[in-house]
Amino acid sequence: MKKIHVVGLGLLGGSFALALKKIMPQIKFTGYDTNSQNQADALSLGIIDEAKTEADLDTDIIVLATPADTLPSLLTKALDKIGSQTLVMDFGSTKSNLCSVVSMHPKRAHYLAGHPIAGTEYSGPKAAKADLLDRKVFIVCEMEKTDLHLKSKAYEVLEALNMKLRFMDPEEHDSQLAFVSHLSHISSFMLGKTVLDKMEDDKNIFDMAGSGFASTVRLAKSSPAMWAPIMKENKKNILEALSMYIVNLSKFRDRILEDDYEGVFREMEKINKIRDILDLE
């Protein structure tokens, strides 16, 4: 492994490079970001060794770590130009459309559809952390469609990063992520909006906010530049998740409206079982 080119020098792309540079210092990292400040920061922080608009043809791996709606075009262009020994992998939060777009591309075997389950509410190269990906899950979709030799390059770096591989169908991936990730962010954003709207009438409301509010609304600090495209790319699954969530919220509101506090207790008690699931993670 000699060279890796990273497109998108934010939290995930930057963290990937920082971690791998510690473990495999022989690798030269080049990179590109449409935000010139991000690119300059990535250079000064040592995330990349050189800024380039295109990867060299002999680059071992090209990593695409940009907003979800930019990935189809970037992936197609990368596959059009790469050499025979280059693997392209992405870090996108949605997979169905991406895999469909390149399904008939003559270099489809050069692509590995990936998604690291890691992140924070912060963005940009300054938010990158060398330990962000350590022991996190890395989902691979359509594993059988990637060339065996090229796939081994990805596995080499993912193993070096202590990542846990999971294999999924693209549609299954997008459906499940809508519930356990995308809906969580929407909920956090809307809680933040609700409290901000209330603040117009009560300027002191944030004085009452404790750790529970802070932890629940934390994701509302996430980058809209990353999350708005996810809503677009995973629209069908997100609408399904939102509809179920809204039904549950309405039922809970109705129990309170009807003074059915025994029902409120039973519902929360039933939901408490999620502890048994999450405590095993």
Same domain, 132 and 232: no
- Sort strands 61-64 and 137-141 into parallel, antiparallel or unpaired: unpaired
Owning domain of residue 271: 172-278
Query: Distance between CA atoms of 200 and 165, rounded to whole angstroms?
Result: 47
- Total domains in the chain come to 2
Query: Distance between CA atoms of 4 and 52, rounded to whole angstroms?
Result: 12
Same domain, 178 and 250: yes
DSSP string, 64-120: E-S-GGGHHHHHHHHHHH--TT-EEEE--S--HHHHHHTTT-TTGGGEEEEEE----
Same domain, 162 and 194: no
One digit per residue, pLDDT tens: the chain, 281 residues?
A: 899 999 999 999 999 999 999 999 999 999 999 999 999 999 999 999 999 987 777 899 999 999 999 999 999 999 999 999 999 999 999 999 999 999 999 999 999 999 999 988 889 999 999 999 999 999 999 999 999 999 999 999 999 999 999 999 999 999 999 999 999 999 999 998 988 888 777 667 666 666 677 788 889 999 999 999 999 999 999 999 999 999 999 999 999 999 999 999 999 999 998 888 776 54
